[in-house]
Amino acid sequence: MLVPPAKAGSFRARFTSGERLLGTFIKTPTGHATEILGHAGFDFMVIDEEHAPFDRQTIDQVLLAARASNIAGIVRVAEPTPSNILSVLDCGATGVLVPHVASAEIARRIASAARYSGGNRGFSNSPRAGGYGARSMAAHIELSDAETTVIAMIEDVEALDAIDDILATEGVDGIFIGRGDLAVALGAENANAPEVMKAVEHITAAARAAGKPICVMVGAAGEAGKYLPLGATSFIVSSDQGLMRRAGLEAVKAFAELKSLAAQD
């Protein structure tokens, strides 16, 4: 019997139960960063097909690395189309993060595309998701529907009025608040502007009322503290590139200080 990696197989249950989870974006189209971050203890990573140079082949490779290093692999799809959602799920994605879910109709379409029973996901148990044919049709349908996680990105002004209906959509497991896009849409100076935070409070209040988990992106652990009282339980911290840049800057600074001390001797 095929047994999925622990964090991948349990991610939906952990996410929907409100367990505190830590993830990061993957921007570099290789499996190395995913392996490193998985072994470091991150709970999940998000392959950024929307804003990084990923195609189906590289997504497939990175999802293989995710399985090898016991980290749940989510894909932020470039387009919320059934074919795009199907392709990443067939490659073995634990779930999808879907941008610009601004209405209940969009929410219904993406939820349907990700599910077999009650949905319209195209069936095949021959890719990685089905164990290359090792799972029967019934077993693959049951396992996929139980574990596939659908997260809607709330980042449009239109979504603010539709948030209750989006959250009530069957098959949408939770939301991610896209503060950057909200800031642009609202004409705000930055993602922490008062008008953005007012929108965030509106969204989180609706999610708490609906009993749906909330994921937000933060720069560091300290920033997460202000979202915990709003109900956020899952946090995306930076990206592989951001983490590498931060570590690089710290190394350069440390050696600059060392050089300065040596010059004083």
51 is catalytic: yes
Q: 195: pLDDT confidence band, cut at 50, 70 and 90? A: very high
Burial class (CB in 10 A: 0-12, 13-18, 19+), 161: exposed
What average pLDDT does the structure give for the chain? 94
Read off the pLDDT of residues 108-157 as tens digits, 9 standing for 90 and up: 999 999 999 999 999 999 999 999 999 999 999 999 999 999 999 999 99
Q: Are 168 and 174 in contact (CB under 8 A)?
A: no
Q: Is the pLDDT of residue 4 over 50?
A: no
Candidates 32, 51, 100, 140; catalytic one: 51
**Which of 56-60, 75-79, 261-265 is predicted least confidently?**
261-265
Distance CA 91, CA 63 (A): 7
Distances (CA, A) of 25 to 12, 51, 191, 196: 18, 10, 18, 22
Q: How far is Cα 61 from Cα 20, in angstroms, rounded to an integer?
A: 27
- Domains, the chain, in order of start with CATH, read 6-240 (3.20.20.60)
Question: In this predicted structure, what is the pLDDT of residue 3?
Answer: 43
Residue 6, pLDDT score: 55
Residue range 167-175: average pLDDT?
Answer: 98
Which comes out higher in pLDDT, residue 144 or 262? Answer: 144
- How many other C-beta atoms are found inside a 10 Å radius of the C-beta of residue 100? 18
Helix (H) / strand (E) containing 179: helix 179-186
